[in-house]
């Protein structure tokens, strides 16, 4: 089974399946849900940064 590398945006791993951003660090991982205030802001910026013709965008839309 192939391991899929999740996209990165502004230092956050974008996990569409779990609907969250994750920012890894040496001490702990910061989790930000898409539905939170901060998550919504990051999500809007992420969506605006992705080319709508790209495979990444099509995979993203699949979960919504």
Q: Would 3 be classed as within a structural domain? A: no
CATH code (residue 40): 3.30.160
pLDDT digits (tens, 9 = 90+) for 33-63: 999 999 999 999 999 998 888 887 887 777 7
Structure tokens belonging to residue 43: 């999500």
Q: Would 16 be classed as within a structural domain? A: yes
Q: What is the pTM of this model?
A: 0.80
pLDDT at 33: 97
Measure CA of the first residue to CA of the last residue in the chain; give whole Å: 25
pLDDT at 10: 94
Domain count, the chain: 1
Domain that holds residue 15: 8-62
Distance CA 1, CA 21 (A): 24
């Amino acid at each position: 089974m192939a391991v899929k590398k999740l996209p990165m945006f502004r230092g956050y791993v974008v996990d569409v399946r779990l609907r969250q951003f994750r920012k890894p660090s040496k001490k702990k991982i910061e989790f930000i849900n898409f539905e939170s205030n901060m998550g919504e802001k990051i999500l809007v910026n992420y969506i605006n940064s992705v080319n709508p013709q790209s495979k990444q965008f099509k995979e993203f839309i699949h979960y919504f």
